[in-house]
């Protein structure tokens, strides 16, 4: 089946630094990818829709300048958390659409100290 | 705005029991509905995908149904096993191209 990978699987960074998370579709091309955030014991919340070759569409309340999304190719979307703060600590998951279904990456756990 | 509710929030059953997880949604204009499993600290594993034109899907011990008119879906797990312990999420994917997730049902199957 379709496979979506994420890198890194976990990262610890200091407050004020930036962190980049990669999302790759390994065996299919994805013109659209989605980025979600999940806080402990909560469900997934859509942050933004990443469109290949164009600007991402952000959900209400998500800061565009803080969560930079780049979908430079049909198999890669990146999420950069800029000037990270402890409140940005969360589980970030990406997904891609194929054959009318969503395929999710394994997630990246970000801890900001 | 689509709202997705999952009941119950948590469920504990002895091994071998059959069980039903419920998912309800407010807007019936959906593209598909998908059930996922999430283990603690892990990503999502897709279990079953039901297109808007379908009424149910089966995979092994799992059966998912969809009733758009009533805004409901159920996930039936037969002969539950301890390895089925996880959080089960349903997600509604709309024609607008967005998914809305329920809060999940945390299942514990006791040996």
CB atoms within 10 A of CB B62: 17
Check: CB of residue A12 under 8 Å from CB of residue A65. Answer: no
Give tens-digit pLDDT for A7-20: 999 999 999 999 99
B61-68: long-range pairs with CB below 8 Å, 24+? B62/B35, B64/B33, B64/B35, B66/B33, B68/B28, B68/B30
* More reliable by pLDDT, B14 or A27: B14
Of A5, A77, A85, the C-alpha closest to A47 is A77
**Confidence bin at A1 (pLDDT 50/70/90):** low
Best residue in B44, B100, B105 to probe A by mutation, most A CBs within 10 Å? B44
Residue B111 has pLDDT above 90, yes or no: yes
Q: Using a CB–CB cutoff of 8 Å, tell me whether A92 touches chain B.
A: no
Q: Which positions 61-80 of A are in contact with B (Cβ < 8 Å)?
A: none
* Closest Cβ opposite residue B97 in set A49, A105, A107: A49
| Whether B97 contacts chain A with CB within 8 A | yes
- HSE at residue A40, side-chain half, CA atoms within 13 A, is 5
Convert the pLDDT of each residue in B53-80 to its tens digit. Answer: 999 999 999 999 999 999 999 999 999 9
């Amino acid at each position: 089946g379709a496979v979506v990978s994420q890198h890194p699987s976990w990262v610890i960074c200091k407050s004020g630094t930036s962190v980049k998370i990669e999302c790759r579709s390994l065996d299919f091309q994805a013109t659209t990818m989605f980025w979600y955030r999940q806080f402990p014991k909560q469900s997934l919340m859509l942050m933004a829709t990443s469109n290949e070759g164009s600007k991402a569409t952000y959900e209400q309340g998500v800061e565009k300048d803080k969560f930079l999304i780049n979908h430079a190719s049909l198999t890669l979307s990146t999420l950069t958390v800029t000037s990270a703060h402890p409140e940005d600590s969360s589980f970030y998951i990406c997904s891609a659409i194929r054959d009318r279904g969503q395929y999710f990456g394994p997630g990246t756990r970000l801890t900001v100290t | 705005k689509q709202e997705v509710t999952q009941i119950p929030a948590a469920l504990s059953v002895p091994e071998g029991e059959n069980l039903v997880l419920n998912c309800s949604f407010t807007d019936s204009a959906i593209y598909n509905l998908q059930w996922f499993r999430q283990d603690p600290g892990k990503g999502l594993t897709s279990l079953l995908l039901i297109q808007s034109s379908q009424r149910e899907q089966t995979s092994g011990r799992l059966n998912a149904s969809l009733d758009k008119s009533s805004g409901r879906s159920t996930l039936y797990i037969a002969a539950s096993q301890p390895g089925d312990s996880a959080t089960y999420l349903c997600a509604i994917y709309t024609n607008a191209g967005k998914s809305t997730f329920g809060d999940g049902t945390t299942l514990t199957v006791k040996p």
